[in-house]
Amino acid sequence: MKRKMSFSKVGIYLITDGKQRFYFTGFASTAGYVLITADETVFVVDDRYFYAAKRRLSPKGITVVSGVGFGTLKAYADKVGTETVGVDFNKITMADFEYLKELGFNPVNVGDEIEKQMAGKADGELSEISKACAVAEKSFREAVAGLRVGMSERELAALIEYRFKMNGASDKSFDTIVAFGANSAVPHHETGETRLKDDVPVLMDFGCICNGYCSDMTRTFYFGIPGREFVKAYDAVLSAHVRAYEEIRAGMTGAEADSVARNVIFENGYSGYFTHSLGHGIGVNIHEAPWISPKASGILAEGRVFSIEPGIYINGKFGIRIEDTVVMKNGRPQTFMTEPKNLCVWAGGKLRKYR
């Protein structure tokens, strides 16, 4: 994919971040940089990737140049007639930033412009995200089928990540979180050696990458028969999740959208137990714009992909999170997921609806 920029601030853009390189070219590599001018997109890479990049990118009209350092940038900047280079200050290293200044360039921050462009998803991008979500769901079902008393959190995480690869994903989109029992009360629990036993909650937060695009999903279920306290909290989280689908609309700020679900959690008596944001954007990055949090001022526009993930976390007891990847379509959130969100329990060797 070859993408255009506005050139309202600068005559040449320098893209150094790996995810952004992929976004602007469709080619993944661990090295190189991209130059974008009004007339040309140039991928500069060393000989390890040169021929692979040329095969992939030349048919798209992207020029591939073999090189290291910023010598090629200097040549193209001279060609354009500028010393001002647009870079994302959130992504460029300090070493590269200082080197640009040593070479006589004037680096200008275009991070907001790049973030805004990447937030809007084209149909092809939505298709890839849909594939990543489908693979994540299929892998979840297959991994959960292998549940057994005594297996560790790390074993279950490894099982779902293995299924990602077997089902066509290139990688996980973040480190899989598996939390048994009281560990689920830690929103970003570090998956470890805790062993599964009867009558505990299981929280799984996972996602994969397909053709460069991410998915993100969380399901919480009970391995055994849940008590009244857990069921009450689960119902509150599910109600918040459902309310988000019903009331979040295009044109809301991220803060307004966050409050839709957060108010439900509070109304059910769990003020202070929802300790993270309602969601975040998803694309080539697992976390990107738009942001859905109590202080987020950005607008949720049509075509934006983001997570909806309300939760309740009671320290020392349990945590519950229900998360889907969604897209703003026809003015309201539409999920990519098909897995049920009602409370499920593990019984008879499979997940079953609790009621």
Q: Comparing 49 with 310, which gets the higher pLDDT? A: 310
Please give the average per-residue pLDDT across 185-193, as a whole number.
97
Mean pLDDT of the chain: 95
% of the chain with per-residue pLDDT over 90: 90
Q: What was the pLDDT predicted at 87?
A: 96
CA distance 58 to 42: 10
Q: In CATH, what number does 13-119 get?
A: 3.40.350.10
The contacts of residue 10 (CB under 8 Å, 6+ apart) are 82, 84, 85, 86, 108, 110
Which of 217, 260, 221, 220 is closest to 240 using CA atoms? 260
The contacts of residue 257 (CB under 8 Å, 6+ apart) are 244, 248, 278, 279, 292, 300
Which helix (DSSP H) or strand (DSSP E) does residue 218 occupy? strand 217-223
Please give the average per-residue pLDDT across 58-86, as a whole number.
92
Give the position of tokens 């050139």.
Answer: 7
How far from the centroid of its chain's Cα atoms is residue 230's Cα?
28
Q: What was the pLDDT predicted at 4?
A: 66
Provide the edge-to-edge strand list for the sheet that holds 200-206.
Answer: 177-180, 200-206, 217-223, 344-347, 350-353
The contacts of residue 272 (CB under 8 Å, 6+ apart) are none
List the chain domain ranges.
13-119, 123-353
Alpha-carbon distances of 168 from 30, 137, 165, 210, 222, rounded to whole Å? 21, 12, 5, 7, 29
The residue count for the chain = 355
Tokens at residue 45, please?
A: 């890479």
The contacts of residue 205 (CB under 8 Å, 6+ apart) are 176, 177, 216, 217, 218, 321, 323
Give the position of tokens 């975040």.
Answer: 280
Please give the average per-residue pLDDT across 150-154, as a whole number.
98
Residue 51, classed as helix, strand or coil, is: helix
Give the position of tokens 């280079």.
Answer: 85
| Contact yes or no for 13/5 (Cβ under 8 A) | yes
Number of H helices, E strands in the chain: 9, 21
CA distance 260 to 293: 11
Please give the average per-residue pLDDT across 122-128, as a whole number.
96
Q: What was the pLDDT predicted at 221?
A: 97
CATH class of the domain comprising 123-353? alpha beta
| Contact yes or no for 322/201 (Cβ under 8 A) | no
| Contact yes or no for 164/136 (Cβ under 8 A) | yes
How far from the centroid of its chain's Cα atoms is residue 40's Cα?
29
Please give the average per-residue pLDDT across 313-333, as a whole number.
98
Q: What was the pLDDT predicted at 69?
A: 87
Please give the average per-residue pLDDT across 146-171, as a whole number.
97
Q: Comparing 10 with 329, which gets the higher pLDDT? A: 329
Alpha-carbon distances of 131 from 210, 304, 325, 327, rounded to whole Å? 7, 17, 12, 14
Position 67 confidence tier, pLDDT thresholds 50, 70, 90: confident
Tens-place pLDDT, residues 262-297: 999 999 999 999 999 999 999 999 999 999 999 999
Please give the average per-residue pLDDT across 94-98, as a whole number.
94
How far from the centroid of its chain's Cα atoms is residue 227's Cα?
33
Q: What was the pLDDT predicted at 2?
A: 53
| Contact yes or no for 63/39 (Cβ under 8 A) | no
DSSP state of 87: E
Give the position of tokens 């060797």.
Answer: 349
